[in-house]
Amino acid sequence: MRDSIVQIGLLLPEVLGTYGDSGNAQVLCQRLRWRGLDAEVVPVALGEPVPSTLDLYLLGGGEDGAQALAAAHLRKYRRALTPETVIFGVCAGLQVLGTRFRGLDGVDHDGLGLLDLTTVPGERRAVSELIATSSGLLDDAPLTGFENHLGVSKLGTGSEPLGQVVRGTGNGDGTEGAVTDHVVGTYLHGPALARNPALADLLLTWTAGHPLPPLELPEVDRLRVERLTATRRRRTS
Ligand code: GLN
């Protein structure tokens, strides 16, 4: 947060906006404003250069064609993004942040190489609620969202999983998402940062360089508990 106004980069929302992940930008903006900090969402459209000056960057999910288009554009501006930059990618965004992904047509595409993971199409589409335990990064707060993807992602040694799957598919091998330095990817839609406030605040803490004061939002906590309980109940019934 170099300037007085925190700039949240929303990368290619018209291409990577199919699953409502642009809402993550609104959540981050609002959580900063509730703490008395100025924040704005800076959308970066396809065809526009990606500035290196924004405080954090978000990528959402999208169909295979949209994802390939987004990757081709973002590769041109790869140098604007480093592992020290705070970056959060969801589904297609996660796959684009990886080193390589394969489309249904069998064509391999280079990703941005900010996460050490590769993605190939799986045997069947994962469409369900997704619950994962979080890694130590989030004090074991469960992660919740919904998933809708065919891709199966395999992590290399340069990334750690964001969590372990409790319900659903995630990466496809029992792990969910990936983290390298300040770059985080996940299969959780929702938007993920509305459903997982601790994850939102982790990204904001990294951006600020220090912990932010906690927010008391009992309504959000209540909805989160309700949703987790309902999903877990569906799993066992
Ligand atoms: N096209 C990718 C897949 O199906 C990503 C889908 C998404 O972003 N939800 O794996």
Q: Where are the domains of the chain?
A: 5-236
**Cα of 53 to ligand 1 centre, how many Å?**
28
Most informative mutation of 88, 149, 187, 188 for ligand 1 (most atoms within 8 A of CB): 149
Task: Report long-range pairs for 66-70 (Cβ below 8 Å, ≥24 apart).
Answer: 66/15, 66/16, 66/18, 66/92, 67/16, 67/92, 67/95, 67/96, 67/101, 67/103, 67/109, 68/103, 68/107, 68/109, 69/15, 70/11, 70/12, 70/15, 70/16, 70/46, 70/96
**Cα of 93 to ligand 1 centre, how many Å?**
9
For the chain, first and last CA: distance in Å? 47
Single-letter residue type at 201: D
Q: Give the model confidence (pLDDT) of 177-229 as tens digits.
A: 999 999 999 999 999 999 999 999 999 999 999 999 999 999 988 999 998 88
How many residues does the structure list for the chain?
Answer: 237
Q: Is CATH 3.30.390.10 correct for 5-236?
A: no
Using left for φ > 0, alpha for ψ between -120 and 50, and beta otherwise, residue 170 falls in: left
The pair of structure tokens assigned to 137 is 């990064």
Q: Give the model confidence (pLDDT) of 104-118 as tens digits.
A: 899 999 999 999 999
Nearest CA to ligand 1 atom 6: 149
**Ligand 1 proximity of 148 Cβ (cutoff 6 Å):** yes
Q: What is the pTM for the complete model shown?
A: 0.96
Backbone angles phi, psi at 33, to 5 degrees: -65, -40
Mean pLDDT taken over the chain: 95
